[in-house]
Every structure is written in C-alpha cells, then in structure tokens.
Amino acid sequence: MPRTTPRGLMAACLVLALSACGSGTPEPSGGSTVPGAEQRHATQLRPGDCLVSIPDDLIATLVPCGNPHAAEFGMIYVVPEGAWPGAEQARRQATDFCAPRLRIAPGRRSEVKVTALPPLEEEWPRHRTAYCVAVARDGQLVGRVVE
C-alpha cells in the first residue's frame, strides 16, 4: 500500500469534502448565478457596492452596478450602546441617521429610499454597526445611485 503523507491526506480529504458539498462556493441569493457576482460579509462592503438583494444575515451578494440590483451600499452607522433595541428599532435609528446624510445622485433620488441593514442580535453588543443602503422604490436599479 502506498504511503500517504499528511499533506497528501489533507488534500484528499479536501477534495472529498468539496465534492460532497458541491463547489464549496456559496451561490448568490435566490440560487441564481449572476455574472460577476460575489458574496461578502457586510463588514467588507465599500461605498458604491451594489447588492442583488437585501440580506437577512449580513452576507451580501454583490454584482457590478451595471447589472440589475436591489440596493447600493453607502455608509455605516454605529447603533448606540445599551440593551439590544431589536432589529426594527436598530434599523429605524440607522435610517434616521442615514437618510439625510446618504448622498444620492440628483437625477436618481425619486428611484430610491434609504434604509439600513441592522446589526444582528447574536452579535450584540460587540458589533453594533448598521449598513446604510439606497434601495429601489419599485423594481430594481441599474447603474450607480450613491455619489
């Protein structure tokens, strides 16, 4: 029987694990494959990133903004310290902060409203960041809306 090195054994286990789980790459929200799509945690978002949909778990599927998308990330808001306010109250606080400050391109203001992805209860109070996004009022956006 051929001798297997620890490195070879690890490689074989990795191949077996990946084949059992598919490609090992998470699919975009909704199970669709969008050219140029990639998934990132909200902590990795940069202003101007375009999101396929609004995630519940802070894992966003990003696409080039020239593709149809539901929202565009603009800025963050740190929810004040204290007891967990609840997801809706955290969203409301962040939206109240973000709405007047998020710079929307003048010709696109009527197409969007501002909301926020609130922090997660299970990460509270260590992580209190909410993520301000411009979302399409009707349908989807194409192109950038945040200046």
Q: Is 4 exposed, middle or buried (0-12, 13-18, 19+ CB in 10 A)?
A: exposed
Which of 47, 51, 147 minimizes the C-alpha distance to 104?
A: 147
This prediction has a pTM of: 0.75
Per-residue pLDDT tens digits of the chain, which is 147 residues long: 344 344 333 333 333 333 333 333 333 334 446 677 999 999 999 999 999 999 989 999 999 999 999 999 999 999 999 999 999 999 999 999 999 999 999 999 999 999 999 999 999 999 999 999 999 999 899 999 999
CB 69 within 8 A of CB 51: yes
Which of 145, 119, 143, 130 minimizes the C-alpha distance to 66?
A: 143
